[in-house]
Structure 1
Amino acid sequence: MHDQKPWWEEPYRIVQTNLRLTDADLDPEALAKQAKAFGASAITFNVGGIYAFYPTELSLHATNPFLKGDLTGAMLKAAHDHGLKMVGRFDLSKGTRLAYEAHPEWFVHNERGEPQEYNGTYQACVNGGWSLDYGHRILREGLERYDLDGAFFNMTGYQPYDYGGEYRGICHCQNCQQGFADMFGRRLPMKEDFSDPAYADYLAFKRRTSVAAAQRIYDTVKEIRPSTGVMGNGRGACDFMRLEIQRAVARPAPEWPHQPGELARWGAAIGQGKTYSCASTNFLDYQWRYASETSHNHMLRFGQQIASGAQIDYYVLGTFEQENREPLEPVKRFLHWHAANGDYLTDTRSLARVALYHSRVNAAYAGATLSGKLQNTAFRGAYRLLLESRIPFDFLSDERMADDNIGEALARYDVILLPAINCLSDNEAKVLDEYVSAGGTVLMTGETGHYDERGQRRMGFALKSAPATSIVHTAKTLETYFRIAEGETDLADTKLVHLHGYYFHTEPRDGIETALKLLPQPRYGPPELCYLEGEPTEHPGVMTRECGQGRTVHLPWLPEWHYFRDGLPEHREILRHLIDRASQRPVRIEGAGPVEVTVRERMNKAGERVVHIVNYAGQRQSAYDEPPVLTGLRLGIPGAVEEARALVSGEALAVGAADADGYAWIDLPGVKFFEVVVLSGAAA
């Protein structure tokens, strides 16, 4: 007899009730009934940390002043009575004045010795006694009293910004000063900037100590309750992952509508088989926790998440008794749909043949590089152009590149795209070179790999398969064009593509192929003098080198960054053309409308694929309105398909005969928010 799977490896729908102190008088029985009726399979409920929602015996653990009895214990019983799992919420990131006055050395202090206080709570230092010891006493007390199904830990790690968004500075408590000196033999940086020589070391210090803190929490949970699932954020030991989607209005415009899909893809890449969810916050932002998101935004979020294999987590402040109730009924309907169809959405694997390289190291250290300030928009431009080209894609994480099975994992992909991944380690470069030699295609842009994993400039490119040996000169402020020759894109009526900013002049290797030619910089005013002069230069926009059985393609500029900023199709089409030359798509979709398409296979159902189509037509900058139904979409699948069924519309779909390219075509029903098509008998 096989052991039963842990509950978090089955389809789940968590509702997180982030309780306020004044919620201490809630009726656990009524809340459990509401959650069950809402479609939840699990509920996240407060246990302790800043405040105890049970009668604690720990003198420095503040008790909720409104508490009348054992609210946590009553909720656990009610949840289990109604067939719900309960995830205990612990916030060990802060303590109250009670703890601070007893042990101020446990908490964050900036270089001026000021504590990081907000609303009577004090930020705990990752390296202080609250995090290292007292928080674990709280955790032990909670777990010894309650047989929790899961444990969630809020706001772990370094938090230099308070809830009001104010930057409070680097912690300079004695614990941090001593720990940093022991690790690196130097003083802490005074600011978080690469102009301070100690900052690169500080990034490594934060990473190592945060991972160690997460491991300690995990070990404590497993020592006391081995069956309790630890819900983590992907930055340390955990059993399953919970990420979070919220608006964060302070982020620079434009609104990034792909955050749910980005997080879900990252969860898949970093988790390597662990289940993951992306909690959709009911509210707009921390400052406006009673202003709800539109139901249309939640549906776009849910569509993206399930398209990349994520489970569902919905986060409300307090209980279901919300001032703004508009999203609740649509979200409830979605959760019931998910409950009916969850088997098709769990235990699946992406069939994408293209990977977008996601580097946490590059995000941290690219600021030390010449073009590093553009790394985030370059990455998101690459994300957009893949999605808007309707190319299914996964993330490939730098944190998995030392895995023993990395060669096998990379062999699933025809193409790996590295958008301005300036910082690469020697090991990453070696793995990518081996992938190319075995027959893969690497597309790299800008300064990719010209710096090591700490942002230190190399003498040349890290990839030995690169078409050039090194960058010899950088033009930083160009305002010109590339000339497009016949066949270099599929845009028959577009002969120029504009370039703004960086162009990296390289030392090319012998025997490479080139495409696109850089034009001399023209004048742009007055209009009477705006004409192209001179012949195209010999500086290419695309360089390709055959290496082993594969190839590496370098674009010594940043077309993906241009696409993020300007959205012109020629920048997208250059990369789309290069990708389609090297890879056959596992699914095609035709018809008008802004859609994302992914395709996954069911691991326990041979020959069964699940195709997700997500409709973005309701999203306009920061507005998320009801989307129009997209009609006239056609789905093309390579190989034979015996049956096709749409899970949202509930329709059986007719499958046409394969065309000359080997794709069988299916006319889709109208797509409102998203559609999920289950295909049986599809070729593997």
Structure 2
Amino acid sequence: MSQISPHEWLKSALIMIMTMREDDAAKWEPEKLVEFAKSFSVDALGFSVAGITAFYPTEIPLHRRSPSLGDRDLVGETLKALNEAGIKAIARIDSSLVPRGMAADHPEWCARDEAGKLISVHGLYVACPNGGYYHEFAIKVVREVLGRYAFSGMWSNAAQFSPWHTRVCYCSNCQSKFRADTGHAMPKENWSDPLWRRYNELRYRWIAEWVELMDKTIAEVRPECAWMPLAQVMESWDHSQKGGWDIDYTAPFADMVILEAQRRYANLWWPGVEARYMRGIEEDKPGGIVVSYFLPWWRLYSVPEPENRVWMSQVVAHGCRPWLHVTGFFSEHFDRRGLEPMRKMYKFLAKNRDAYDGMKSQADVALVYSRFSQDNLNGGQPEPAYINHFRGAYNAMMQQRIPFDLLSDKRITPSQLGKYKVLLLPNGACLNDAAVDALRAFVEGGGRLIASSEATFRNELGELREHPLILEFLGAEDTQTVERDLKAAYGRIIDPSHFLFEGIGDTDVLPIGGDLKVLKGPGTRADALAYVPPVEGERGSGFSVPEYNFIERVSTYSLAMTAQVKQGSLVYFPWPIEQVAHHYGLADLFQVIGNAVRSTPGWSPKLRVTGPGFYDVALMAKDDRLAVTVINFSAPGSFNSGHRRLVHEVMPVSEVQVEIRLPEGRRCRSARLAVAAEEVTFEIEDGFLKARIPKLTEFETILLSLE
């Protein structure tokens, strides 16, 4: 008989994390802290315990205690208060910084810049994850903390290379480790250098080695304590790339997978990216996403309630749990306006666990996020090289209201692909051989692959393949020619009845741009959308004199290549359709991508949502429950200020129609709206349950009870 994991409680837990400043011990009142946590209906509270500062009477030499701790044991006192309140405790540790006194005794534990100098932050020094601070000192701290206190979980913050936006580490530990792993001297940062790309990949592996060491230590000392290392994905690529954070490598050594989505300069849909990505990696493990009520630079200043509700609703809609990060609680100067909205949201989630807990995605469309392509196409500038392609495809699925999952490039396997009928690979250039083989089998077995630009043209480290899969499917050759940075170019619609142009309307042309890859072969001749060279007065300007603004020539080169591959099919765009659509907000191009999905043989929608606005949708199920969440991204503030503007108001939408295809053999007993807290009437027609959301503000969930 299989054993139930001692960490099963984390799958439904509402968690708060409290970060203490080093001198907060003077103001720390455990009973008040616990009362504050209780007011949020949390199941567990995490708080600062050790690392940079110890809030207990540590006996480890050089482990610096809080200056105002005195003879108190705040960790023990807080644990006692939490136990009495029935709230589980999570220890927060931070291994990122070394105090000056410790650095003087152990300079080899510290990161060093290219000139060999220590790297300072707040008067402390950055620790190197390859050094003794991580591999010796932190392990001693964990053994002491868990040997002394009955924590239910341990969470590490900022365990990474180059934390707090600091420079690359060139310490002797990193240099000797790189030489041992590769036989080469450690290179300088140069993304066109294959050796630097190998170093970059090793950073991820080295962090995973430490995560595994911590996992073994915690399991040895207190096996009932869950290990929960932190990471980030995609929108914070500048942090995760330099830091060596890749949850594909660390998740096997974690009891709960934790990502962070706190940076409000990121796209508003970042929490949805992280939740989807996490569930694509570890569907059955507990998953949490750290969110906050504050801005990244102004940590004591709150974000407007509408934005926080849109932000947090994505986490639960896609199958994860929110971790609310509170910092500065003991501060004399604090913005309390952000707390009550988060308190209301947590109480709502506690009351509606049946709408979100344990739910799994029912999507049969997946979008690949390729960290290999992020790093190895042009790791110095990954946004134009890769990330904006992904953002465009993500936006296309939202704009087209198609439920979809995210899939890591390292999880492109036959078993994972077996869940899906359609796979989107926006400029997914850098893939390993196993992923390419799995894609071939997926398409030949009946799946549809929708790809663009350099998809499948390189291996995982960015080296060109001799026989890219896309060319194999098309029966084409690469001319090694690319028309760069097209402006004012068009696609001429050759066949308006083609499946890609359903719903486009009365137009002969569509806008195109970016880099156009030139292939040759029978499959590259246009039968749907033909390339029209730029209409401009001077090459690259994008402008033309009105009197000369006309199309002189329509080429025969295809901008939308299709191929039947055994039982499956390919739709390939040799230009960055997703990137152009995202950059300019071109709904027609989003429609073309959506049509490429909807026209897949054997595919039919499981969910249809109609009504004005821009939404994200989730279709989730568990046992006798089926849930549809609609998240409203319709917000003012669309003008360009050089930064994403905060959402102060979400425009409410009335009468949103939702149609849900019921699972075969199942009937609906009842339906209710979770946010509105009311039953909803419905009708059944042609296998679809039809209901409406009378008023959609930030989000709503329709929960169906099935029999």
Same fold (TM over 0.5): yes
Within the alignment, does 1:525 sit opposite 2:544 as a pair? yes
Aligned position for 1:14 = 15
Question: Conserved in 1, the CA contact under 8 Å of 2:194 and 2:461?
Answer: no
Letter in 1 for 2:88: K
1:118 aligned residue (111, 117, 121) = 121
Q: TM-score, normalised by structure 2?
A: 0.90
In structure 1, distance between residues paired with 2:528 and 2:114 = 53
Within the alignment, does 1:476 sit opposite 2:478 as a pair? no
Letter in 2 for 1:481: Y
- How far does residue 374 in structure 1 lie from its aligned partner after superposition? 2.5
Aligned position for 1:176 = 174
| Secondary structure, aligned partner of 1:339 | helix
In structure 2, distance between residues paired with 1:530 and 1:185 = 59
In structure 1, distance between residues paired with 2:574 and 2:111 = 44
> 1:458-473 maps to which residues of 2 (within 5 A)?
458-463=465-470, 466-472=473-479, 473=481
In structure 1, distance between residues paired with 2:597 and 2:361 = 18
The verdict on how the C-alpha distance between 1:87 and 1:417 changes in structure 2, with shifts beyond 3 A counting, is: same
Letter in 1 for 2:699: F
Letter in 2 for 1:57: E
Aligned position for 1:609 = 626
The verdict on how the C-alpha distance between 1:10 and 1:421 changes in structure 2, with shifts beyond 3 A counting, is: closer
**Over aligned residues, Cα RMSD in angstroms?**
2.1
In structure 2, distance between residues paired with 1:183 and 1:509 = 46
Structure 2 stretches lacking a partner, 5+ long: 232-246, 537-542, 638-643
2:607 aligned residue (582, 587, 591) = 587
CA offsets 1:187-224 (integer angstroms, 9 cap, x no match): 11222x22345211211221221111110011111110
Aligned position for 1:93 = 96
Identity %: 28
The verdict on how the C-alpha distance between 1:470 and 1:274 changes in structure 2, with shifts beyond 3 A counting, is: farther
In structure 2, distance between residues paired with 1:678 and 1:248 = 30
Aligned position for 2:69 = 67
Letter in 2 for 1:27: E
Structure 1 stretches lacking a partner, 5+ long: 250-254
- How far does residue 451 in structure 1 lie from its aligned partner after superposition? 0.9
Within the alignment, does 1:568 sit opposite 2:586 as a pair? yes
Identify which range, 36-45 or 363-372, moves more after superposition. 363-372
Question: Conserved in 2, the CA contact under 8 Å of 1:483 and 1:495?
Answer: yes
> 1:232-243 maps to which residues of 2 (within 5 A)?
232=229, 233=231, 234=247, 235-236=249-250, 237-243=253-259
Question: Conserved in 1, the CA contact under 8 Å of 2:563 and 2:570?
Answer: yes
In structure 1, distance between residues paired with 2:684 and 2:379 = 55
- How far does residue 501 in structure 1 lie from its aligned partner after superposition? 2.4
In structure 1, distance between residues paired with 2:375 and 2:671 = 44
- How far does residue 320 in structure 1 lie from its aligned partner after superposition? 7.1
Question: Conserved in 2, the CA contact under 8 Å of 1:11 and 1:343?
Answer: no
> 1:240-255 maps to which residues of 2 (within 5 A)?
240-247=256-263, 249=265
1:284 aligned residue (280, 295, 315) = 295
Q: TM-score, normalised by structure 1?
A: 0.92
The verdict on how the C-alpha distance between 1:311 and 1:48 changes in structure 2, with shifts beyond 3 A counting, is: same
In structure 1, distance between residues paired with 2:353 and 2:477 = 50
Aligned position for 1:674 = 699
Aligned position for 2:24 = 23
Within the alignment, does 1:82 sit opposite 2:109 as a pair? no
Aligned position for 1:633 = 656
> 1:347-496 maps to which residues of 2 (within 5 A)?
347-367=358-378, 373-401=384-412, 406-463=413-470, 466-472=473-479, 473-479=481-487, 480-484=489-493, 485-488=495-498, 489=501, 490-496=503-509
CA offsets 1:391-433 (integer angstroms, 9 cap, x no match): 11100112223xxxx4233122111000011111111110011
The verdict on how the C-alpha distance between 1:369 and 1:152 changes in structure 2, with shifts beyond 3 A counting, is: closer
CA offsets 1:322-341 (integer angstroms, 9 cap, x no match): 72111211111111111111
Identify which range, 171-180 or 488-497, moves more after superposition. 488-497
1:294 aligned residue (279, 295, 304) = 304
| Secondary structure, aligned partner of 2:659 | strand
In structure 2, distance between residues paired with 1:668 and 1:366 = 44
1:557 aligned residue (575, 579, 603) = 575
The verdict on how the C-alpha distance between 1:23 and 1:460 changes in structure 2, with shifts beyond 3 A counting, is: same
The verdict on how the C-alpha distance between 1:680 and 1:119 changes in structure 2, with shifts beyond 3 A counting, is: same
- How far does residue 618 in structure 1 lie from its aligned partner after superposition? 3.4
Question: Conserved in 2, the CA contact under 8 Å of 1:483 and 1:516?
Answer: yes
Within the alignment, does 1:508 sit opposite 2:521 as a pair? yes
Question: Conserved in 2, the CA contact under 8 Å of 1:468 and 1:506?
Answer: no
In structure 2, distance between residues paired with 1:424 and 1:125 = 30
The verdict on how the C-alpha distance between 1:185 and 1:9 changes in structure 2, with shifts beyond 3 A counting, is: same
Aligned position for 2:39 = 37
Letter in 1 for 2:59: E
Question: Conserved in 2, the CA contact under 8 Å of 1:437 and 1:550?
Answer: yes
Aligned position for 1:252 = none
| Secondary structure, aligned partner of 1:327 | helix
Within the alignment, does 1:227 sit opposite 2:224 as a pair? yes
| Secondary structure, aligned partner of 2:300 | strand
